[in-house]
Structure 1
Amino acid sequence: MTTRLRRAIENREFVITAEVAPPKGGNPAQMLAMARLLKDKVHGVNVTDGSRAVMRMASIAASTLLLQNGVEPIFQMACRDRNVIGLQADLMGAHALGLRNVLALTGDPVKAGDHKKAKAVFDLESVRLLKLITKLNDGQDFNGKKLPDGELDLFAGGAVDPQLKSWYTIESRFAKKVESGAKFFQSQMITDFVRFEEFMERVAAQHNVPVLAGIFLLKSAKNARFINRCVPGAQIPDGIIERLDHAENPLEEGIKIAAEQVKIAKNLCQGVHLMAVKREDLIPKVLELAETSITVKSEPVLI
């Protein structure tokens, strides 16, 4: 199965993805309402997997609900919560349910979340998870034994943080993920586009794999300060915070800032990954203001 996301990447189109969080409970109505608004605006919708180690509905279950509603999902998989048996079982199950796009993640530490006494697993981390997905796609399990009931066909991506201080760490992890099977990258939130441009020239240019710049919708100066204080690695500049602080309508200003960042990214990389926590309904407005739209509108295939 060739997904909308995969076709766009292989055709070297400007790729747009967005992100939704699964419900914290049994009712997916809000998540589905937000996802439907994105259906013809993006190539794929990421469904987070215990982001920030906060308990929510399983990404695979939530992604299946999106697929059933005609929205192409990208299910995230974090190594924190599963041993290698569980990882393989979930990957096979996701494939059987018709899911194809996956973002391989190590996972945030348990201490960052809402169940601090939970036990972290970390049998694998993101690079080894990508290697595992490649093996399963080749019809082998973790131990190299043939899968008797058929290989998988997962389109795997990785995460990258271009704003890490160590260039060696960025270059090394990026190269290892490409070698392990990553077909695309979604970045953490980008706030320093000078640094991002340097990353694109110094690191990404060495590999023929698309990078989607992470764009975060800031709702207010208070929201920006909270992110700087509580999200590891976040570095929202004072200038942006002051701009939000002095705006007559901070939310509208945040939309303008996000749209400006999308326009910058269009000149630097092959796509954007939009994050608007609890206001995913505003992502189409950001894209409209940025004069950016998808060029492929084929529907995901249901099986």
Structure 2
Amino acid sequence: MTNRSHTPSSLLQSAIAANQFIITAEVMPPKGGDASHMVEMAKLLKGRVHGVNITDGSRAVMRMSSLAAAVLLKQEGIEPICQMACRDRNRIALQADLMGAHALGIHNVLALTGDPVKAGDNPKARGVFDLESVRLLRTIGLLNQGVDFNEKPMPNGALDIFAGAAVDPQCPSWSGLQKRFERKVEAGAQFFQSQLISDFDRLDKFMTQIAAPAQKPVLAGIFLLKSAKNAAFLNRNVPGVHIPEAIINRLAAADDPLQEGITIAAEQVKLAQSLCQGVHIMAIRREDLIPEILERAGVAPTISVPAAANGSSKAVQPHWAMA
């Protein structure tokens, strides 16, 4: 099921409709009630990205609600992409949050299954997983049509949610990757955000053999590596991640590993420009360096037009085009 055809309701949706090369970035909500640091980091990304993605209990670590954080960013004129994971909510709560997101002007949602509870800081918590990402996407499609999960009409109006999904082009099971991707497309995913990419040959193969027929934007996950130790930690602790030894050696040999990490990330953005339709940049706790990564990659700032009377935003076509 796909979203209804209408005027784009968000800057991200407008940019995708205009075939722009999409740039998104990630920020973590605070672990506490003071969101000022998150907001300040996100402010540095205004004019540089089409959307700021707010994590929802990433790695099952308790943090501020992604929806609440998205509203705080929107109040600052920052385009939010609200992650919504199925781990912590049943279908009643998920639908309630989606309705709330729409009412608060949050239209971009990344539908996720969620990391296992045991991976986080509350390992004795009970995971819900009433739905998973594919059924959440289908639920969003129903809500956008004005009916609920049980296909009963909603008397107070349909939603307008622009739904995305996650994908891992480096998944070892090629057939499993293809099946899962196709199910998410069929369920209504309008864009895809990939896990951290370190094998760009694999990304090329995925784009050519699996993603091309769907004609949905795929944003390659680009991670800012801060040191050889940081890269080795990711290899040990994050499933599906394999930072090549050559990159770890570059970081280890560098006089300034952080600057070398920025250079590597910029190189990867350039690679992605020739392979897919966008990038999603993750620079945990150093979101302030994302503009420098984009500058080194030769990516011009995005230009947004203030929201129109109907609440929509439009993006001016930049100098690059969709690959």
For residues 126-165 of structure 1, the aligned pairs below 5 Å read 126-165=133-172
Aligned twin of 1:214: 221
CA shift digits 1:248-273 (9 cap, x unpaired): 00000000000000000000011000
For residues 126-205 of structure 1, the aligned pairs below 5 Å read 126-205=133-212
Aligned counterpart for 2:97 among listed residues 86, 90, 93: 90
Number of aligned pairs? 303
Partner amino acid for 2:220?
A
CA shift, 1:282, in A, is 0.1
Which SS does the other structure have where 2:146 is aligned? coil
Which SS does the other structure have where 2:152 is aligned? coil
Which SS does the other structure have where 2:305 is aligned? coil
Aligned counterpart for 1:247 among listed residues 249, 254, 277: 254
Which SS does the other structure have where 2:165 is aligned? strand
Aligned Cα root-mean-square deviation (Å): 1.1
- Work out the percentage of aligned pairs sharing the same amino acid: 64
For residues 43-58 of structure 1, the aligned pairs below 5 Å read 43-58=50-65
CA shift, 1:132, in A, is 0.2
CA shift, 1:295, in A, is 4.0
TM-score, structure 1 normalization: 0.98
Aligned counterpart for 2:110 among listed residues 103, 108, 112: 103
Q: Return closer, same or farther for 1:169/1:161 CA change in 2, 3 Å cut-off.
A: same
Partner amino acid for 1:209?
K
Partner amino acid for 2:157?
G
Please tell me whether the aligned partners of residues 259 and 289 of structure 1 are also in contact (alpha carbons under 8 angstroms).
yes
CA distance in 2, matches of 1:110, 1:39: 33
Please tell me whether the aligned partners of residues 47 and 302 of structure 2 are also in contact (alpha carbons under 8 angstroms).
no
Matching of residue 117 in structure 1 with residue 117 in structure 2? no
CA distance in 1, matches of 2:296, 2:224: 13
Aligned twin of 1:13: 20
Q: Which runs of 4+ in 1 moved over 6 A?
A: none
Aligned counterpart for 1:270 among listed residues 261, 266, 277: 277
Aligned counterpart for 2:70 among listed residues 52, 63, 66: 63
Which SS does the other structure have where 2:219 is aligned? strand
Aligned twin of 1:76: 83
Partner amino acid for 1:11?
A
Please tell me whether the aligned partners of residues 254 and 260 of structure 2 are also in contact (alpha carbons under 8 angstroms).
yes
Matching of residue 35 in structure 1 with residue 71 in structure 2? no
CA shift, 1:39, in A, is 1.1
CA shift digits 1:237-256 (9 cap, x unpaired): 00000000000000000000
Which SS does the other structure have where 1:162 is aligned? coil
Partner amino acid for 2:254?
A
CA distance in 2, matches of 1:183, 1:230: 30
CA shift, 1:206, in A, is 1.7
CA shift digits 1:172-202 (9 cap, x unpaired): 0110101111000010000000111011101
CA distance in 2, matches of 1:162, 1:232: 13
CA shift digits 1:76-113 (9 cap, x unpaired): 00000000000000000111011000000000000100
CA shift digits 1:264-285 (9 cap, x unpaired): 0000011000000000000000
Aligned counterpart for 1:284 among listed residues 280, 284, 291: 291
Partner amino acid for 1:32?
V
CA shift, 1:300, in A, is 5.0
Which SS does the other structure have where 1:134 is aligned? helix
CA shift, 1:298, in A, is 2.1
Partner amino acid for 2:294?
L
CA distance in 2, matches of 1:133, 1:294: 31
CA distance in 2, matches of 1:295, 1:40: 5
Aligned twin of 2:245: 238
Gaps of 5+ in 1: none
Please tell me whether the aligned partners of residues 72 and 300 of structure 1 are also in contact (alpha carbons under 8 angstroms).
no
Please tell me whether the aligned partners of residues 148 and 154 of structure 2 are also in contact (alpha carbons under 8 angstroms).
yes
CA shift, 1:296, in A, is 3.6
